[in-house]
Structure 1
Amino acid sequence: MVPSQAVEYRPLGSNSIRLFRFDKNAQDIISGEMKPYTLEDFPPYYALSYCWGPGTETVRIGVNGGDLQVSRSLNDALKQLHQFIVTSVDLSHCNNWIWADQLCVNQQDIVERSKQVPLMGKIYRQAIRTIVWLGDDNDSSSSAWTLVDKIYDIFRERYPKARTLADIPFAVYSELEFKLSGLPKWDDTTWYHFKNLLRIPWFTRVWVIQEVALSAKDPIILHGPHQYPWHKLSWAAAWLRRTGYTRLENIPCQLLNVDAMSCIRRSNTPWALDVLLCLTATKFQATDQRDKVYGLLGLTKEGQDLTNLPDALRPDYGLDVVDTYKRVTLYIFNKYKNLSTLTRIKTFALIEGTSSMQSTHALEKSPSRTKLPSWVPDWSDSIIIERQLAKSFSWISHSHETDEGILGFPNYYKACGGLQLHIHQLENPSTLKLDGLWVDTVIRSVRPTDGMESGGESIDHCHTMIWQTAAPLLPALGAADWLTSYIKATTAGHHIIGGRTETQIMRDGSAYLLGLLTRNENLTSTDSTSVESTSKLIYLLQSLSIDGDAEVYTSISYNFCFQWSFFVTKQGRMGIGPVVTRPGDRIAILFGGEVPYVLRSRDGVVILLGESYVHGLMQGEIIQALRKGKLAPQMIEIH
């Protein structure tokens, strides 16, 4: 018996890749030839998207007469893809050429990997189509895909001309609408099968984003011997998200991953890196945490011209995770001159932990977090349940296929008055020094869901906690200002999500609070509020609550408030901020950030906790004083 020999990977040119072609006559094991091609001169090929699976379980395949060990997952994918190519008219013209990363890139050569990563965008963009391998199917798969078809049909029936996200209006989930939709009841096993489908690891891998988004034709999903079109799953996800379903426990969080990939795919314009990082960091995972950045480069504006790729973004697997994230963050700050990328700071809950429910369902300490400066977002993997993650105050604006996604703040958040970020150079690369203003200090705070049993969702419980924290301000503020502050803070100033005007959301909030006080008379007899001020508030609520919809208010406050801490400040303001906010934490306006930030002094240095909503600071009130010469900018140094 002739001993086998390992496959020899010869060095590639700077703009070259390898392609693999199946041996049609191979029987028991996958085998074929692999050849190098430049990205200017190559045969038609298909690009494979799959999940590597455990690296400990490998299978031998034949390549150029030698042996190569690949993951069992890739071997299974190649077998199914080979069969699919043989039987598919759509694929018959490609002469069996395919590209798969584990096979076509020398995984043992760090230098080659670093050079091939920037080419990934071109590789998938120039392929005929991306073929997605989800793995073998099971008894529940057919039921799940039937539900996808049903959701897609409902979407198309309601919006037959929809071509962009803007064609699907945002709505708050309605139980009545659900019952009329024709979808299975929530206790139907079909929903369980749907969850199992979307829990397949492929849906959480960061590399698959560009593999789907850049496919020239609609990706084909292979699940066992069956095939499904990507666009149906894509639009089903879009409709469920835009109509409020994805905030429900019944809907798997991974559906948001499908929607994120689809948003990028529908766009005809490359996106900025800061947008992509914000959109994907908490949803997708990577084996190598540097790939949380590198895996997105093919989708970015910056990654379109590889000859001018900024040094800070050039893949370097010799650089550790911490240094990679620091240099990328500084690049984003200097490039876009704003702080919206701080929206996913996970700092203190990971450094110090918390006794609140947040510690049990949202965060797991990452290996890089405690080594990162507090101003550097941790894009590494962590266990975060998306619907239990605090709703960001920054957002990504994208609704039309001709638009790129833009990361920024709602136009009704103007805390810094449009002043741009300016970073002062320091010798310490772990310190961020920038201009801003210290404006207030937290004196009381509460986590609305504290004291609730895990999984509990008592709206009244949460608002009771908030009421007890805010009530002492009632005599000083007066009923009208107190009520405005309360409703604005607990909805983060949002009303358009429910399709309401500011006046309507005030009526909605008043209707709910009047009901809360009626159901819980003890709230109106606390020592912290006078009988007179409470009576005035109740009278105001009775007047404003006419035509108010309490359900709309509770839905918005649930989405935007309950996963934050509610606090009041020394100067009588109400706000919501990071879950770990506590008395003594300070509120600052940082130039380049259109929301206030919560910071903490610790061991003689200042640590950034995260963004906040503080009523009375959101319209640039402090900046107006600055421009009138009543205040002067301050240097704020963050570690």
Structure 2
Amino acid sequence: MSIGGSFQYSPIDPAEREIRLLTIIPQDSHEKISCRLSKTSLTYGIFDALSYVWGGEPSSFPNTILLDGAEFSVTRNLELALRGLRLPKGSTPKPLWVDAVCINQKDIIERNQQVGLMGEIYSSADRVIIWLGEADKDSDVALDTVPLLANEGLRHKDENDRNEADRKQQIDRYQRCGSFFFGLPDQRPWLSRVWILQELALAKNDPLVVCGTKMVLWSTLIRGWKAIAREIFTGMQFARPKTQKETSPETYASDLGSEDEGDVEILAAVKLDLLDDLRCEMRKEGGGTLRRLLLFSRTSQATDPRDRVYALLSLVKPSETVVVADYRKPCAAVYADAMSNIFSAGEGLYFLSGVFLPGIGSKAPYIPSLPPTIEQPPLPSWVPDFCRQTGELADQPSGITFHPPDGISASGAGSGCMNGKVLDDNRTLQVEGLVIDTIDHVVPMAQDLDQFISQLPSLEATVADAKERLELFDTSIAPLVRQFKTKEPLWKILVSNKRLSSGYDAAPAAYENMHLELLKQDGPSATSKTDQGATDTEPSEYAMCLKRELNAKSVFTTTSGFCGTCVPDAREGDVVVILFGPPVPFVLRPVPQDAGENTGPRRSNHYLIGAAYVGGIMNGEMVDELYCEDLMDSTTFFLQ
């Protein structure tokens, strides 16, 4: 962060847990913002804390305030927030903690130390003030109206008790506020910022939400939104009545006033709901795992990509070993630290089976503030880019698409076991598993549904030929391997044996007939017969399953005749393996002998390519019937 003007920070004492506080001097609205800094011990200080979006580097916005009489550069959004919170002359201001000003952003040692205290800062503040930004017509109406909606939500009035005039007035309020709430993710960047997760979740008292000159308590905002969601989503059939168990008092969200929907369960959730859920969970459980927090925050953004990890550290449960914030490290090292933490908690391979992997030699997010003497290496193949964990940003598909139905795992008896250790170089992952076979043929799935349907007959022939091959295994297990590889048909393999409407339920038997109907198609017609639940112009449910997978998968066969689907980056010569723990096999690529990562001929060095679905072994057959019966040995893999 570039600090302008002549202002100079005086040092703070980490041993005394010192922090700086900002006091906004009360002035008339037209006057330049003037503030002063003071120091206090976090143990004894009384202050509020600001939660806001930086809005870019100060050098990009030539806005300045007076800080102890000296010019100090700030972003436009911070200048607006300070102006919006400034009291009129004659008032008594309360000190405020603001990260961009209270931390010397140029001092890396201080920055590391203060970031480590941020969880305590927000949990110690008298009140967290959430600045959403400047007002507009929707925000003014919404924040004026939401207390009325919140009170209606608390009363849970029966529809029959409302007269027609009251009902019309209520619907009008819903409509006026709806555009504000539904526009929040796109129009109010605060919701997408990763740092706000801890700032909201750790607030000890009900946060105050400020937009322009209007303000409302967080709990009131949430109750108002839930009243709107109850009305709108019920009309859209995204709600259902709750059972008696679900409507028991124990299910209510929190003791801060965030109400549930009474006798109605809302089946659609927006970012506002997720944020409130996180706040309630943190207050109830005291923290979460880093794995879960990284998944929860996958759509959140940060100016510094290392903050995709560092901003979550205060939310990690106290019993879990945490990463230490260090802004002297390159991004690849920080993300590897996070993965090392997840592996130490026994959740590493399961986590990798469901995220977007970077690919071989993928560049890590670049940190321009690091000195040129610090190397910024690419990401190891087993370390995700946490800034690219959504479909529109990732270069290859998530492993979730290869997961079998719920309750089934290729790891069999080894499901959920602790497996994986990050070595001292912080770039090598050691794991145990079974070699299934080597890929000998990869067929990319056409990206157009009609083209893929035309491709189906040749795929059926390829798979049928592969299953007839001799098994290149020890003769004692070859009959079992033959049984495994021949028992699952292509129609199941293509959709990972899952139903369209659920990522957990097994594909119904009716999909087989839908698949056979597609095989009969000659030309562009991805439809099924009406007795399969589709019209002449609509794709069958099975065809829709296929369409969803077209950009995410290739079909492969192996030297011994196994068939399955894999990520598009897989190629001939890659090895399909079961790494004990997660529900899916993985595709690995041997590291060339002349590659710098290869440290010796005895180590099985590989790159992690991605997840796979292998027909016939997704219920743990190879682990349970071969490995557990001492008919097959495991292998130690070193992933780089």
TM-score by structure 2 length? 0.68
Indicate the residue corresponding to 1:532 in structure 2.
Answer: none
Q: What SS does structure 2 have at the residue aligned with 1:134?
A: strand
The aligned runs of 1:299-314 (5 Å cut-off) are: 299-302=315-318, 310=321, 313-314=323-324
Alpha-carbon offset, residue 596 of structure 1: 0.5
Q: What SS does structure 2 have at the residue aligned with 1:616?
A: coil
Indicate the residue corresponding to 1:335 in structure 2.
Answer: 345
**Structure 1 unaligned regions, length at least 5:** 87-91, 161-181, 184-189, 246-254, 352-363, 397-407, 453-457, 525-540
Alpha-carbon offset, residue 294 of structure 1: 0.6
From 566, 589, 592, the equivalent of 1:600 is 589
Indicate the residue corresponding to 1:108 in structure 2.
Answer: 106
**Structure 2 unaligned regions, length at least 5:** 159-170, 173-177, 239-268, 368-375, 469-484, 594-604
Indicate the residue corresponding to 1:298 in structure 2.
Answer: 314
Measure, in 1, the Cα distance between the counterparts of 2:493 and 2:342.
Answer: 29
Indicate the residue corresponding to 2:379 in structure 1.
Answer: 372
**Stretch deviating more after TM superposition (262-271 or 199-208):** 199-208
**Stretch deviating more after TM superposition (485-494 or 20-29):** 485-494
Alignment length, in residue pairs?
Answer: 534
Alpha-carbon offset, residue 298 of structure 1: 1.1
Alpha-carbon offset, residue 476 of structure 1: 7.7
Code of the residue aligned with 1:596 in structure 2: it is P
Measure, in 1, the Cα distance between the counterparts of 2:153 and 2:615.
Answer: 38
Indicate the residue corresponding to 2:413 in structure 1.
Answer: 417
Measure, in 1, the Cα distance between the counterparts of 2:146 and 2:547.
Answer: 28
Deviations 1:337-392 (A, max 9, x none): 541232324332774xxxxxxxxxxxx98449961221222224588527997354
Code of the residue aligned with 2:325 in structure 1: it is P
Deviations 1:89-127 (A, max 9, x none): xxx9x9533222112212122111101112222222233
Code of the residue aligned with 2:40 in structure 1: it is Y
Structure 2 residue 290 is the aligned partner of structure 1 residue 273: yes
Deviations 1:169-223 (A, max 9, x none): xxxxxxxxxxxxx99xxxxxx9899568525443332212222333345544444
Distance 1:383-1:51 versus aligned 2 partners, 3 A rule = farther
1:489·1:576 contact (CA, 8 Å) conserved in 2?
yes
Distance 1:337-1:203 versus aligned 2 partners, 3 A rule = closer
Indicate the residue corresponding to 2:129 in structure 1.
Answer: 131
Structure 2 residue 591 is the aligned partner of structure 1 residue 590: no
Distance 1:388-1:82 versus aligned 2 partners, 3 A rule = farther
Measure, in 2, the Cα distance between the counterparts of 1:567 and 1:514.
Answer: 18
The aligned runs of 1:42-441 (5 Å cut-off) are: 42-56=45-59, 57-82=61-86, 95-137=93-135, 194=182, 198=186, 200-217=188-205, 219-227=207-215, 230-231=221-222, 258=272, 260-267=274-281, 268-269=284-285, 270-281=287-298, 283-302=299-318, 310=321, 313-336=323-346, 338-342=348-352, 343-348=354-359, 351=362, 366-367=365-366, 371-380=378-387, 384-385=391-392, 390-393=397-400, 410-415=406-411, 417-418=413-414, 420-423=417-420, 429-441=426-438
**Stretch deviating more after TM superposition (221-230 or 35-44):** 221-230
Measure, in 2, the Cα distance between the counterparts of 1:124 and 1:287.
Answer: 20
Deviations 1:593-630 (A, max 9, x none): 33100112352352111222323222211111101111
Alpha-carbon offset, residue 436 of structure 1: 1.1
Measure, in 1, the Cα distance between the counterparts of 2:543 and 2:223.
Answer: 32
2:54·2:75 contact (CA, 8 Å) conserved in 1?
no
1:106·1:112 contact (CA, 8 Å) conserved in 2?
yes
Measure, in 2, the Cα distance between the counterparts of 1:152 and 1:497.
Answer: 34
Measure, in 1, the Cα distance between the counterparts of 2:427 and 2:584.
Answer: 23
Alpha-carbon offset, residue 8 of structure 1: 3.3
TM-score by structure 1 length? 0.69
Distance 1:237-1:613 versus aligned 2 partners, 3 A rule = farther
From 447, 463, 479, the equivalent of 1:473 is 463
Distance 1:373-1:44 versus aligned 2 partners, 3 A rule = closer
Code of the residue aligned with 2:572 in structure 1: it is P
Indicate the residue corresponding to 1:405 in structure 2.
Answer: none
Q: What SS does structure 1 have at the residue aligned with 2:133?
A: coil
